[in-house]
Chains A and B, each alone.
Chain A
């Protein structure tokens, strides 16, 4: 043993041990070297032009908040997975990006900090400053967990030139499902005469919007079972599925695999597209034809659409809650969002209503549709097992959409699966 201690191996082993201890006990510090609170923001992957805008926002925050040290952690690849691993490793960033469907799972994993205390204490912000559906989307169990950044709901973008060329009346605010189907059928064509459809009337959009528009629900009121076998839901899903398998007004799977829906709209291979607001900034730059926005058509039970968008949340492991909340508040309110108006619609109401946003050059004629959609937008399904529920339902419903089975048959098989998932969740909690 003495030989070993005297040997030349000792130094490298000691160095390795020190490194191992440093790694094991490392992690984020609370204060920087100047004693300022550190705030780590995990930024999701985004294209370079957008990153440039964000970098300007971060610089502005640092300039106006010299007492806070903002550090930006650039996440590449799958954002949600990576943040979850960081949370599990107890090195979570202070502030994180949040999507609507993910919120419930994050709250149940005890990974998020409620913002209620900060909201009560901060005179610069009230939840009523944001669009109500956006605040509701990022609330769970009566607590607010995220301040919404960009507001979006599914809206229609349509090719005015194609409507004009084929003498189809453009969408009106009182359009119903059947009006949409009539127009889509008139616009679906074989333009080069090779016997195959190459222009489709519309892109398909989320089946649950049809269910809601027909007065149906995905889950029962008490969330104990799947409610898709109820007649209103089945009727809505039959209409949705028939758009592809019966009427053929939405692109085939092959066409979809070839280009993707956005590209098909840009290439004028589809006349009506159903997307969320950020697509406007893409279409503004790429569409070489006249296009406009319209409301999603109303169903038999009225009009509704789905809230999307994103929010900034604080992790449970956040070490400087006040400083982190200040960053979240600042970025989601006018100071931060005013730089993002060219690409996103702000959730901060006064900014969305301002001339800076509404009168921005290059926007389509009916730009108010995006803001108006907030009046009837509905919360997405919030459930901690959202992914599992949708993975059980989507493939089954796509089968009906392809006409390989009926909606009723596919639901007879899928609904019990969802009920088992819900039952497992109840048993666990």
Chain B
């Protein structure tokens, strides 16, 4: 029986294991090897040692631009997205009439694919016919202010992406809701007896109890934001003056526009190292502010 179970275990797991080895782990290893080569797919790779990494550091001014754009977006979008998700989750955690409808309403944008979202927001941000300026236009006209050019303005283009990112806060909201509902009721009762108001309850009970969820959201958000691609591909490409040249978009261009697979692989490994470093740092810092119930 034990043998049968073991066999079944490996058999049912095998599609995933085989799939992972063939389609994920294999290519991951291959990309590491490729990062030391000059490789265009069509011809045999040529070993160039650290040439690609050297070029990234010394010879490619667009790498810095892409990194700056990506960091700017990430460090604006992730905290805002997390805060907004938490705020909406707090509102939707109230026991009021029609709450399932509101929750569905806020979650709905999350089922829209990145590409569809890009197409939609490209229209919203169109300076002439887009929804954003159609709504803002009359107010700006009264104040005699110019209409924002959104994606066509190198200064506003990245904040426009941050705004778009807020639209899909439903995923974070659902996770925060689950976290909020896991906060024991007796803690609020105790706080109430101690005379804590709403803000004090949030600060001293709710937030500490959901810090693991906040940490999870920040970590996943950071990893996702560093890899922003689909929306950029659809909405603005490199953007005016390379203002929306995000790191993964540039990596894609190197791989599939210029067919520089070696260079693109090196970029991918640098990104991996960067995300890993930031994540490790976050885990180190997490000890100072994340509270795990039951942990010592």
- By a beta-carbon cutoff of 8 Å, the part of chain A in contact with chain B is 3-4, 9, 81, 84, 87-88, 109-111, 253-255, 257-258, 385, 387-388, 391, 395, 398-399, 402, 404, 417, 420, 428
Contacts and interface: CB of A to CB of B under 8 A. Distances in A.
B103 interface: no
B127 A420 contact: no
6 contacts: A84-B259, A110-B43, A258-B127, A391-B257, A420-B59, A428-B46
Given A84-B41, A258-B128, A395 B241 contact: yes
Given A9-B11, A253-B240, A254-B152, A88 B41 contact: yes
Nearest to A9: B11
Contacts of A254: 127-128, 149, 152
B280 to A, nearest CB: 34
B239 to A, nearest CB: 9
Interface in B34-70: 38, 40-43, 46, 59, 61
B7 interface: yes
Contacts of B259: 84, 109
B238 A395 contact: yes
5 closest A-B pairs by CB:
A258-B128, A109-B42, A88-B41, A254-B127, A253-B152
Contacts of A88: 41-42
Contact of B126 (A257, A385, A404, A420): A257
Nearest to B133: A254
Contacts, number: 53
B61 A417 contact: yes
Chain B interface size range: 20 to 34
A107 to B, nearest CB: 11
Contacts of B152: 253-254, 257
A186 B78 CA distance: 51
Contacts of B149: 253-254
A33 B223 CA distance: 53
Contacts of B257: 387, 391
B295 interface: no
Interface in B126-161: 126-129, 149, 152
A257 B241 contact: no
B256 interface: yes
A319 B257 CA distance: 28
B104 interface: no
A258 B61 contact: no
A4 to B, nearest CB: 7
Contacts of A258: 126-129
A270 to B, nearest CB: 15
A402 B258 CA distance: 27
Contacts of A387: 257-258
Contacts of B238: 391, 395
A130 to B, nearest CB: 28
B261 to A, nearest CB: 10
B241 A399 contact: yes
A255 B128 contact: yes
Contacts of A404: 241
A257 B127 contact: yes
A108 to B, nearest CB: 9
Between B38, B46, B149, B241, the greatest number of chain A beta carbons within 10 A of the residue's beta carbon is seen for: B241
Given A88-B41, A391-B238, 6 more contacts: A87-B42, A255-B128, A258-B127, A385-B258, A398-B240, A399-B241
B258 A257 contact: no
B258 A388 contact: yes
